[in-house]
Structure 1
Amino acid sequence: MKSYRTFLKQILFNYIIGSLIAVAVVGGLFVLTTIDAPLLQNIRMIGIMMFSFMVMLGLEGIVFRRHIRIIREACVIDFPTEEMIKSAYIQLHKFPKLSVYRIMLPHFLGLTVPALILMIVCMGKGWITLPTYYLWIGGAGALMVASMHAFIEFFLTASAIRPMLILMKERLHRLYGKDILELGQVHVSVRRKFQWSIFLIGVFPLVLFSLAAQIRLQEMTGVQSGEYWSWAGSVILVSIAFSIVGAQLLARDVEHPIRNLYSEMEHVKNGDFSGEAEDYYSDDFSLLISGFNHMIKGLQLRDRRSAQLQDSYFATLAAALDARDPYTAGHSLRVAEYAVIIGENAGLSTYELDRLRKTALLHDIGKIGITDSVLLKDGKLTDEEFDQIKKHPALGESILKQVEPKDAMQPYLPGVRSHHERYDGKGYPDGLQGEEIPLFGRIIAVADAYDAMTSNRPYRKGMPAEKAIMILEEGRGTQWDPQFASIFIDSYRKKKELIS
Structure 2
Amino acid sequence: MTVHEQFERRLLKNYVIGSTAAVLGVGGVFLFTTLRFSAKEIFVLCGILVSSCIIMFLLEYLFFRMHTSVFRTYFSKKQPALQLAEKAYFHAHHFPIRTVKRILGPHLFGLSIPAVCLTASAIYFEYLTLPYYYIYLASLGAILVAGMHAIIEFFLTTKAVQPVLRNIQEKTLKDHGVILSLATSRHISIQRKIQWSTLFIGTFPLLLFALANQVRLYQLSSPVNGSYWSWAFFVLLIGISFAIFGAFLLFKDIQQPMNELQAGMYEVRTGNSNAKVDDLYSDEFSKLIKGFNHMARAIQSREHENKQLLESFFATMAATLDARDPYTAGHSLRVADYAMKIGQMAGLPFQQLLQLRKAALLHDIGKIGIPDIVLLKEEKLTPEEFEQIKKHPVIGADILAQVQPFDAMKPLLPGVRYHHERYDGKGYPEQLAGEDIPVFGRIIAVADAYDAMTSDRPYRKGMTHEKALVILEDGKGTQWDPYLTQLFIDEMKLKSIS
TM class, shorter-length? 0.7 to 0.9
Map residues 19-30 of structure 1 onto 2, 5 A cutoff. 19-24=19-24, 27-30=27-30
Pick which of 229-238 and 38-47 moved more: 38-47
The 1:467–1:266 alpha-carbon spacing in structure 2 relative to 1, beyond 3 Å, is: farther
Pick which of 131-140 and 214-223 moved more: 131-140
Within 1, Cα distance between the matches of 2:144 and 2:348? 62
- Any unmatched runs of 5+ in structure 2? none
The DSSP-based 3-state class of the residue aligned with 1:323 is helix
CA-to-aligned-CA distance 1:438-485 (integer Å, 9 cap, x gap) = 454444344334433443445555445456556656766665556655
- By how many angstroms is 1:11 displaced? 1.3
Give the equivalent residue in structure 2 for 1:104: 104
Which letter maps to 2:324?
A: R
- By how many angstroms is 1:297 displaced? 3.3
The 1:115–1:457 alpha-carbon spacing in structure 2 relative to 1, beyond 3 Å, is: farther
The 1:439–1:124 alpha-carbon spacing in structure 2 relative to 1, beyond 3 Å, is: farther
Question: Which structure is larger by alpha-carbon Rg, 1 or 2?
Answer: 2
Map residues 263-412 of structure 1 onto 2, 5 A cutoff. 263-345=263-345, 348-404=348-404, 406=406, 408-412=408-412
Pick which of 345-354 and 368-377 moved more: 345-354
Contact 2:79 2:175 in 1 (8 A): no
Within 2, Cα distance between the matches of 1:264 and 1:388? 53
How does the TM-score come out when normalised to structure 1?
0.83
Give the equivalent residue in structure 2 for 1:182: 181
Within 1, Cα distance between the matches of 2:232 and 2:61? 38
The 1:492–1:219 alpha-carbon spacing in structure 2 relative to 1, beyond 3 Å, is: farther
The 1:298–1:136 alpha-carbon spacing in structure 2 relative to 1, beyond 3 Å, is: same
CA-to-aligned-CA distance 1:279-311 (integer Å, 9 cap, x gap) = 222222222322333333333333333322222
The DSSP-based 3-state class of the residue aligned with 1:416 is helix
Pick which of 10-19 and 259-268 moved more: 259-268
- By how many angstroms is 1:147 displaced? 2.0
The DSSP-based 3-state class of the residue aligned with 1:180 is coil
- Residue identity over aligned pairs, in percent, reads 52
Contact 1:318 1:332 in 2 (8 A): yes
Within 1, Cα distance between the matches of 2:481 and 2:87? 52
- By how many angstroms is 1:161 displaced? 2.6
Give the equivalent residue in structure 1 for 2:91: 91
The DSSP-based 3-state class of the residue aligned with 2:17 is helix
- By how many angstroms is 1:345 displaced? 4.7
CA-to-aligned-CA distance 1:96-120 (integer Å, 9 cap, x gap) = 2332233233333444455556767
Contact 2:85 2:172 in 1 (8 A): yes
Within 2, Cα distance between the matches of 1:132 and 1:349? 83
Pick which of 416-425 and 275-284 moved more: 416-425
CA-to-aligned-CA distance 1:139-176 (integer Å, 9 cap, x gap) = 43333222211211121122223333443444445x44
Which letter maps to 1:294?
A: H
Aligned length: 497
Pick which of 226-235 and 277-286 moved more: 226-235
RMSD: 3.8
The yes-or-no answer on 1:7 pairing with 2:7 is: yes
Within 1, Cα distance between the matches of 2:257 and 2:486? 50
Map residues 158-177 of structure 1 onto 2, 5 A cutoff. 158-172=158-172, 175-176=174-175
Pick which of 479-488 and 330-339 moved more: 479-488
CA-to-aligned-CA distance 1:119-150 (integer Å, 9 cap, x gap) = 67887898877666655544433332222112
Within 1, Cα distance between the matches of 2:474 and 2:47? 101
- By how many angstroms is 1:262 displaced? 2.5
Within 2, Cα distance between the matches of 1:438 and 1:229? 84
Give the equivalent residue in structure 2 for 1:455: 455
The 1:329–1:208 alpha-carbon spacing in structure 2 relative to 1, beyond 3 Å, is: same
Within 1, Cα distance between the matches of 2:315 and 2:436? 29
Give the equivalent residue in structure 1 for 2:156: 156
Give the equivalent residue in structure 2 for 1:140: 140
Within 1, Cα distance between the matches of 2:309 and 2:153? 53
- By how many angstroms is 1:223 displaced? 4.5
Contact 1:22 1:145 in 2 (8 A): yes
Give the equivalent residue in structure 2 for 1:67: 67
How does the TM-score come out when normalised to structure 2?
0.83
Contact 1:169 1:180 in 2 (8 A): yes
- By how many angstroms is 1:319 displaced? 0.9
The DSSP-based 3-state class of the residue aligned with 2:257 is helix
The 1:188–1:230 alpha-carbon spacing in structure 2 relative to 1, beyond 3 Å, is: same
Which letter maps to 1:182?
A: S
Contact 1:26 1:141 in 2 (8 A): no
Within 1, Cα distance between the matches of 2:435 and 2:213? 82
- By how many angstroms is 1:263 displaced? 2.3
The 1:62–1:360 alpha-carbon spacing in structure 2 relative to 1, beyond 3 Å, is: farther
The 1:341–1:11 alpha-carbon spacing in structure 2 relative to 1, beyond 3 Å, is: farther
Within 2, Cα distance between the matches of 1:189 and 1:495? 64
Which letter maps to 1:147?
A: G
Map residues 425-444 of structure 1 onto 2, 5 A cutoff. 426-432=426-432, 437-438=437-438, 440-444=440-444
CA-to-aligned-CA distance 1:335-394 (integer Å, 9 cap, x gap) = 222333344455555444333322222222111112233333445544433332332222
